Each structure stands twice: as structure tokens, then as C-alpha cells.
Structure 1
Amino acid sequence: MSETEADQDREATLNRLMERLSGFAQGIGMRGPDARQIIDRVIASDPTAGDGDLMAKARTWMLIALS
């Protein structure tokens, strides 16, 4: 996979997870840009993980960020 394809795949994953976690983020009072940044960092920490694992980790990191 080329670097461009990897960037596009990461962006697609970021957008997909952002859409799926937007209700959670709103529910805990987190702003969209902050949630997006956390999701991006979660993807960077484990780029081969599946969506379920990434979402679980993102939720945890969002809750930690609010404390």
C-alpha cells in the first residue's frame, strides 16, 4: 500500500469512527474537534486494529480527557 493509500485509508477510518462516536462525544459534553483529535491519536497508536477495538479505546481516552 502506498503512502497516499494509507493516508486515505486512515482518513476514511477517522471519518467512519467520528460518525459512529459523535453521539457518545456529545453525550459526555466533548466538542467535535477534540473528539476527532482523540480518535486520530487512537488510530495512530494501533493502525491495524479493527473498528471495535479502536472505538473502545477512543471512548476510554475521551473519558480520561474529561477527568
Structure 2
Amino acid sequence: MSHDRSPELPPPVRMCVRCERITDDPVVVHEVHSASGPGWNVYACRGCASHFPPPADVFDLLPGD
């Protein structure tokens, strides 16, 4: 008899880039891309997230035909 005893993952905890408070409900407000390695995300708390424009889709930045 087997039981699924997978541990629950802890909530994501990040620091808000605007108010610098720790939040357990982070919102991605920017994606930093890097040509020399993996990029990273920039987070804000829910209260500060509305002060940032939506993240750009990198495919929208490519020149069109």
C-alpha cells in the first residue's frame, strides 16, 4: 500500500523591487534576459505591481517582415 507523502512546497517569498518589503504573494513585473546565462525575474508585491507596465513579450520586440 503506498501513500503519496509529497511534501507541500512553501509559498514563494520574494522582496518587492519598489517598497523592498518581503511578500509571499509576489507578482512578476519584469523579466531580465541574458545572452551569457539564465535570466531572472523581478518581483513586486500586489500593492506595488500596478506601478509597473506589463512585462513585454520578447517576440513583440523582434523586427517584423
Q: Which structure carries more strand by proportion?
A: 2
TM-score (norm 2): 0.28
Larger Rg: 2
| TM-score, length-scaled by structure 1 | 0.28
Q: Which has the higher contact order (CA 8 A, sep 6+)?
A: 1
Higher helix share: 1
